[in-house]
Amino acid sequence: MQIENIANVLKAKVLTPELDLSREVVHAFSSDLMSDVLTGDHYKTVLVTGLSNLQAIRTAEMSDIDQVIIARNKEVSQEMIDLARESNIVLLKSSYSLYRVSGILFKEGIKPLY
Amino acid sequence: MKLHYHIDGGDFVNAGKASSAVKGVLKQLNVPSRRIKRVVIALYETEVNVVAHATQGEIEVAIDSDQISILVSDSGPGIADVEKAMQEGFTTASKEVREMGFGAGMGQPNMKRNSDRMDIQSVPGQGTTVRIVNELKD
């Protein structure tokens, strides 16, 4: 599923609209614990998290995760958006909870990592 | 090739900058992406540990055609029992560190898992030195 379509089904705001939104997403991993994200063998993964800080973006970068969804309408700083852009990471913000975002993605056929 | 980075304790804004820079260098050197990922995850967890626990630290990176050698030395409280610190789930992290998405006792196991060789030397009350060596070729 393309990240642009994911943004639509989640009614999410795309915070990095200048990046390629046609990229394909196969897996999702939902966590607020960044060390847990770092253990994953990620492939075309979207990270869903309630952790809205620079480390969420850094963790995605180190894990080769190219798209991040911040759930629950958490405030996203300009520094996060700048870092995401610099790291070529598509950043979305959804008002839905982590559970709801995960549930919708699962229903849409996005696979879990484990 | 030699690289050097400085880390300030408590500076969560810049935690990961060195790992990001090393990732860029290894990409330019056409190192296989799975090997790059191992290096940068081990280094990133180390950086976060220095930011979380130490007052300051230095990262020395040496890259040759076959391997990368990373030496991270910090000034700080040190680790009283290194073996215990290696156990999954063991943590002394503050609430602030946990709010940053770390501090669940997974850092050191993640460092070890992503290193080909790793060695931790620590003097309580003075600081900790971590050496990580990874092969860069398949």
Q: In angstroms, rounded to a whole number, what is the distance separating the alpha carbons of residues A101 and A94?
A: 8
Domain with residue B12: its CATH number is 3.30.565.10
What are the chain B neighbours of A89 within 8 Å (beta carbons)? none
pLDDT of residue A74: 96
Closest CA to B97 of B44, B52, B33, B31: B52
Low-confidence ranges of chain A (pLDDT < 70): none
User: Tell me, what's the ipTM?
Assistant: 0.94
pLDDT of residue B64: 95
**What is the mean pLDDT of the segment spanning B117-131?**
97
In CATH terms, A3-112 corresponds, of 3.90.1150.10, 3.30.70.1350, 3.40.1390.20, 3.40.50.300, to: 3.40.1390.20
Both structure tokens of A55: 């480390």
Is the CB of residue A108 less than 8 Å away from at least one CB of chain B? Answer: no
pLDDT bin (cut points 50, 70, 90) of residue B55 is very high
Is the CB of residue A98 less than 8 Å away from at least one CB of chain B? Answer: no
pLDDT of residue B48: 96
Q: What is the mean pLDDT of chain B?
A: 96
Q: Where are the beta strands (DSSP E) in A25-73?
A: 27-30, 45-49, 67-70
Spatial neighbors of A72 by CB under 8 A, at least 6 apart, are A50, A94, A95, A96, A97, A98
Is the CB of residue A45 less than 8 Å away from at least one CB of chain B? Answer: no
Rounded to two decimals, the pTM is 0.95
- Please give the distance of CA B104 from its chain centroid, rounded to a whole number: 16
**What is the mean pLDDT of the segment spanning B72-101?**
93
CB atoms within 10 A of CB A105: 23
Q: Are residues B13 and A54, on separate chains, in Cβ contact within 8 Å?
A: yes
Nearest residue of A to residue B13, measured between CA atoms: A54
